[in-house]
Amino acid sequence: MKYVILSFLFLFLGISSTSAQIIKLKANEVAVKTKDNNSGRWSNWSDPQTIDVLILVDGNQNRVKIFSKVEQAYDIIKTYNTVTEYNGKTTHKYECIDKAGTRCNLSIVKHPNGISTLEIEFSDANILYNIYKMD
């Protein structure tokens, strides 16, 4: 599975070295939305907050680590097919387990305007990062 993950990132984010096993990304904005337990409705996305956060995609360990104030680690347990929509939006989705053992979906999306995002979807909260590859 590590080769599928790395191949995808090389093509998707324009990373050129095929010998790299760890991909370094940066997040410059984050937004969140939450699900109300009583009504079951999702909130709107919060206003984006400016951040400077390192994200490592480790193909050797099938893991994504996000070095935010609270460090996050997601072990990839399933890779879904890449989906490209008619407008050019491309999404690659993974099923993951976080440090607490909670299942979630992690998606890396390249939008037609050139912006890339990483979204983590839990049953009660979603986190959206604007990302870019590091040089």
Instruction: Indicate whether this model's pTM tops 0.85.
Output: no
Do residues 23 and 133 touch, judged by C-beta distance below 8 A?
yes
What integer pLDDT is reported at residue 78 of this predicted model?
94
Can you list the alpha helix ranges (DSSP code H) found in the chain?
A: 2-12
At 39-93, the pLDDT tens digits run 999 999 999 999 999 999 998 899 999 999 999 999 999 999 899 999 999 999 9
d(CA 91, CA 118) in angstroms, rounded, equals 10
What does residue 67 show for φ and ψ, rounded to 5 degrees?
A: -95, 60
Do residues 74 and 64 touch, judged by C-beta distance below 8 A?
yes
